[in-house]
Structure 1
Amino acid sequence: MTSSRRIETIRSLTGEFAGSAGLAAVVIGSGIAAQTLSPGDVGLQLFENAFATALGLGVLIAVFAPVSGAHFNPVVTLVDALLHGRPGQSVATYLPVQILGCITGAVVANLMFGLPAVSWATTDRASWPTLFAEVVATAGLLTVIFGLVRTGRSHLAAPAVGAYIGAAYFFNSSTSFANPAITVGRAFSDTFAGIAPTSVLPFIGAQLVGAGLAWAFVRAVFPRPVATIPTA
């Protein structure tokens, strides 16, 4: 690997780590704030959490897309590899960075609100309806992303993905995690956005099923890629 290529790889991995950490901090931090600001009103808490996440995710994508592609999500990276030939080495480096970033963001969110750095979540979220909902949420998210990318409209990804996730908090019974890395990160905070460690693997399994469905659907409906998400 040349020196310039190595520098570009470091930059992209740093961007992916920072964006993933920022995403987890937004999701978990806004959940903690919602619990504090609106005690006893779960509906308002969910709205506050969803609103902050939609805005924060859109900003993070806009900022880091030129650096790393702004995946922040292992299933985005995996489906990008399947659709557009992302190198295996890039996938192997992106996935752990995304997970580590989300764990770091969870710790940061906990500390910002004066909580222990790590407090294992106790909210059991795994049920057949919520797992089915995660399949739907993940398939929908990936269709939004790659439908835009493969029709030359990737510049719309930031607002579109933010809007989709904000809406999916409400139309989806799982509140639309749709991301294995953030699922792991949310297990590190026993707060509004937390997920019990025992629910993590079932959620990730459902997300992978949704990713497979999205891959097949995107190939069928958007067969000719116009542009691809940047590779590391």
Structure 2
Amino acid sequence: MTKFSTLQRWMSEALGTAFLLATVVGSGIMAETLSGGNIAIALLGNTIATGAILYVLITIFGPIGGAHFNPAVTFGFWLDKAISTREALGYVAAQTVGGIMGVYAAHAMFDAPIFQIGPKIRAGASQGLSELIATFGLMLCILFAVRFKPKAVPMTVALYITAAYWFTASTSFANPAVTVARSLTDSFAGIRPVDAPLFIVMQMIGAGLAFGVYRFFVGRG
């Protein structure tokens, strides 16, 4: 089995998160353009594209760096002592930069201004609770699938996010890097920067709670 360097793992995180955000934002722009104002159809198009790219990205980058693409996921694996603090910080930096670059790439592909600020209001207790639950569920899926059925991780995550787009009021950002990046787009997928901190805090709490539940079931062995 090929052993990858820390730099290669970080780069896989940056590339994967970039493609994830390019898909989330790009498909949102495309869906909104083609849906004729039907928000349900636009969300469906956005959902399908996001679920599909997650399966692909986790399949190809998972063997290199674990395919976290998400600081909350990295936090969970750091809690599990699967990665060091230095590696985790590098992952988070790579994910954040990669996500922003993915948003800029989507803007460029659709001939939109590169630098934007998200205007979409996503505030309030229901949105925060949605992000806590969305991230809690995502982290549980990942931890249990990695432990009990590793080959099912790509499909498990892709299907969970596809469902969570629809059963959460926030449409399941469930990812601090995604939240930061989506605050930089004035598109269907955007969020106001002022609303992002609530999302990020609740996402990290959700990840921590999921790790606690995971440990309850599997112990520390």
The bucket for the TM-score relative to the shorter chain is over 0.9
- State percent identity of aligned pairs: 40
Shift in alpha-carbon separation, 1:72–1:35, aligned structure 2, 3 A = same
Give me the TM-score of the superposition, normalised by structure 1: 0.92
Which of residues 60, 67, 70 is equivalent to 2:67?
70
2:83 corresponds in structure 1 to 86
Aligned equivalents of 2:82 and 2:37: distance in 1?
A: 48
Matched, 1:177 2:155: no
Tell me the amino acid that sits aligned with residue 41 of structure 2: L
Aligned equivalents of 2:142 and 2:220: distance in 1?
A: 15
Tell me the amino acid that sits aligned with residue 201 of structure 1: P
2:201 corresponds in structure 1 to 205
User: Is contact 2:10–2:91 with CA below 8 Å preserved after alignment?
Assistant: yes
The Cα shift of 1:11 comes to 1.1
1:229 corresponds in structure 2 to none
Aligned equivalents of 1:170 and 1:88: distance in 2?
A: 34
Q: Decide which moves more: 216-225 or 93-102.
A: 216-225
Q: Secondary structure of the residue that 1:150 maps to in structure 2?
A: helix
Spell out the pairing of 1:39-50 with structure 2 (5 A cutoff).
39-50=36-47
Aligned equivalents of 1:14 and 1:92: distance in 2?
A: 13
Q: Structure 1: 5+ residue runs without aligned partners?
A: 226-232
User: Is contact 2:136–2:209 with CA below 8 Å preserved after alignment?
Assistant: yes
Cα deviation digits, residues 164-210 of structure 1 (max 9, x gap):
00110101111000000000011111000001100111100110110
Matched, 1:136 2:122: no
Matched, 1:154 2:116: no
Tell me the amino acid that sits aligned with residue 202 of structure 2: A
1:57 corresponds in structure 2 to 54
Aligned equivalents of 2:68 and 2:190: distance in 1?
A: 22
The Cα shift of 1:222 comes to 2.8
User: Is contact 1:132–1:206 with CA below 8 Å preserved after alignment?
Assistant: yes
Cα deviation digits, residues 137-160 of structure 1 (max 9, x gap):
000000000011122x12111011
Q: Secondary structure of the residue that 1:104 maps to in structure 2?
A: helix
Aligned equivalents of 1:83 and 1:221: distance in 2?
A: 14
User: Is contact 1:31–1:48 with CA below 8 Å preserved after alignment?
Assistant: yes
Tell me the amino acid that sits aligned with residue 138 of structure 1: T
Aligned equivalents of 2:82 and 2:162: distance in 1?
A: 30
Tell me the amino acid that sits aligned with residue 217 of structure 2: V
The Cα shift of 1:85 comes to 3.8
2:30 corresponds in structure 1 to 33
Displacement over 4 Å in runs of 4+: none
User: Is contact 2:70–2:175 with CA below 8 Å preserved after alignment?
Assistant: yes
Cα deviation digits, residues 73-122 of structure 1 (max 9, x gap):
00111110111341111011111110000000000001110101111010
Aligned equivalents of 2:21 and 2:150: distance in 1?
A: 23
Report how many residues are paired. Answer: 220
2:183 corresponds in structure 1 to 187
The Cα shift of 1:224 comes to 5.9
User: Is contact 2:118–2:190 with CA below 8 Å preserved after alignment?
Assistant: yes
Aligned equivalents of 2:7 and 2:209: distance in 1?
A: 32
Aligned equivalents of 1:189 and 1:14: distance in 2?
A: 23
Aligned equivalents of 2:82 and 2:7: distance in 1?
A: 20
